[in-house]
Homo-oligomer: A and B are copies of this chain.
Amino acid sequence: MERHFDQQLGTLRKNLIQMASMIETAIANAVKSLIERDSDLARLVVQSDEQVDALELEIDKQCVDFLALRQPLAIDLRFITSSIKITNNLERMGDLAVNIAERVIPLSQEPQLKPLIDIPRMATITQTMVKDSIDAFVNRDTELARSVYQRDSTVDAMNDQIFRELLTYMMQDPANITRAVHLILITRHLERIADHSTNIAEEVVYIVKAKVVKHRGYNLEEP
């Protein structure tokens, strides 16, 4: 017989996974709208944020209620406190997806600055990071989580590279400036999304192993 305690935890988990999948979709759609210059899709992303926000509040409330009513300990407690942080991160990721989408809308009105090559690559990496961090959470897979935060530096590097490249574009032609700045901000948003995935991955390690890897550099080996 499943305990009511576990049932309730299960519901919370399901909600978290749902929220995560909504975020994943939002990010995917934002990136897609950028690449395909699809302002309608971008608008959809912006709209969908309301649901994410509502879900965040719901999950937060569930966490607090669970703490109040069930007094979880050990792994359950870590799961709850991490959930609070994870929703926070997810919500920020959702906002960032919205921010991207918001920049896509003016961008898609204007001619394409240049064929996008690096940005989609960066977007793909970021997306897999998001997906993997969520999978790691769902499956309590610390290996996968570790791989997520090891990829973060790649994203950072690409962000720098794209930044410099776009600077060059701007210098070449002032007409590019607005669009380039938008793109710079978009890459920055992608970079932030990767950061938040990293945070989630760190929380996964914390939930499962009770080890804090945040702020520790990512060179921690299995003990």
Docked CA distance A63–B81 (Å): 9
Q: CB-CB < 8 A to A167: which residues of B? A: 177-178, 181
Cβ-defined contact, B177 with A171, below 8 A:
yes
Q: Which parts of A171-194 form the interface with B (CB within 8 Å)?
A: 171, 174, 177-178, 181, 184-185, 188
Of the candidates B71, B78, B171, B185, the one whose C-beta lies within 8 Å of that of A64 is: B78
Interface size class of A (residues with CB under 8 A): 20 to 34
A77-B64 contact in complex given A170-B174, A171-B177, A177-B170, C-beta closer than 8 Å? yes
Q: CB-CB < 8 A to A171: which residues of B? A: 174, 177
Docked CA distance A89–B74 (Å): 25
Asked if A67 is at the interface (CB within 8 A of a chain B CB), the reply is: yes
Cβ-defined contact, B68 with A77, below 8 A:
yes
Q: Which parts of A52-78 form the interface with B (CB within 8 Å)?
A: 53-54, 56-57, 60-61, 63-64, 67-68, 71, 73-74, 77-78
Give the shortest distance, in Å, between A53 (CB) and chain B (any CB).
4
Q: Which of A56, A57, A215 has the most CB of B within 10 A?
A: A215
Give the shortest distance, in Å, between A145 (CB) and chain B (any CB).
18
Give the shortest distance, in Å, between A196 (CB) and chain B (any CB).
10
Cβ-defined contact, B81 with A64, below 8 A:
yes
Docked CA distance A180–B57 (Å): 38
Asked if A140 is at the interface (CB within 8 A of a chain B CB), the reply is: no
Of the candidates B78, B178, B181, B214, the one whose C-beta lies within 8 Å of that of A57 is: B214
Give the shortest distance, in Å, between A5 (CB) and chain B (any CB).
15
Across the interface, name the chain B residue whose C-beta is closest to A171.
Answer: B174
Q: CB-CB < 8 A to A214: which residues of B? A: 53, 56-57
Cβ-defined contact, A53 with B85, below 8 A:
no
Of the candidates B57, B60, B81, the one whose C-beta lies within 8 Å of that of A67 is: B81
Q: CB-CB < 8 A to A188: which residues of B? A: 185, 188
Docked CA distance A68–B74 (Å): 8
Give the shortest distance, in Å, between A186 (CB) and chain B (any CB).
12
Q: Can you list 8 pairs linking A and B with CB atoms under 8 Å apart?
A: A56-B214, A57-B215, A60-B212, A64-B78, A68-B77, A81-B84, A84-B84, A171-B177
